[in-house]
Every structure is written in structure tokens, then in C-alpha cells.
Amino acid sequence: MATGTDDITFKFITQAADISGTGGGSSRSVSGIRATSSQVKAYIDNSLKQTNNTADSGSIPTIKFVSGGLADSDTTQIEYVEYYSQTEIFGGGSPALTDTEQSALYTVAGLYNSTLGR
């Protein structure tokens, strides 16, 4: 169970959607979507918390994705967080993930994990 405030940032390339001071001490899910070339969105527990429509530029990271921290190269990590990972999905696709699909992911992940008793 999360403690303290839940200040979440989803950042893709250089554009970020920030969620600050939302509380939500029992959150089980966070997610972020890059919906267009100029829009990112961040969610906590299936609730859209912020949309950022600022234009962006930059490149997709050329290193590997890490769970449990942040990779700053393919051999080093920083900014670790303690948690039990229960379902993790990342990707993109065309068209980009919609709010409806994000909501479905949250629902299905919840059912999957509740079926497993966790």
C-alpha cells in the first residue's frame, strides 16, 4: 500500500504529465499514456489526473526499460522504489492507447490479481 502523497510523473521523451499532492494512500495502479505527439496523460487508479498538451521534441530512449527503478544506461540504475510488482505492461501502438483501453487494463489487471488472491 502506498504511503505519503502520491506525486506521479509520466514522462515520455521530454514531455511530462505531473500529478502532485493527490493523496491516494491506497493506490494500486499508476499509468501514463503518450496519446499524440503533443499530449501526455497520467492516471492513478484508473483516474485521469493530468493532461499535458505542450509540444515536444526529442528521441525515444535508446536503452532498456527497467522495473523497480530508473535505468540511466543498460548497465546502471538509479532512483529505486520498493514495491511488489504484480502486472506491468508497456508499449505504444497505433492508434495510441485510449482512455477506454486504459480503463480496461486497470479492470482486467485488478480481476487477474484478485483472482490470484493478491
For residues 17-36, which are near other proteins according to CB under 8 A?
Answer: 18, 20, 27-36
Candidate list 51, 53, 70, 99; residue touching other proteins; CB under 8 A: 70
Instruction: Determine the Cα–Cα distance for residues 111 and 117; give it in Å rounded to an integer.
Output: 10
Task: Classify 118 as helix, strand or coil.
Answer: coil
First to last CA, the chain: 12
The yes or no reply on residue 55 touching other proteins (CB under 8 A) is no
The yes or no reply on residue 11 touching other proteins (CB under 8 A) is yes
Residues 73-112: x/- map of binding to other proteins (CB under 8 A)? xx--xxxxxxxxxxxxxxxxxxxxx---xx-xxx-xxxxx
Residue 101 grid cell: 483501453
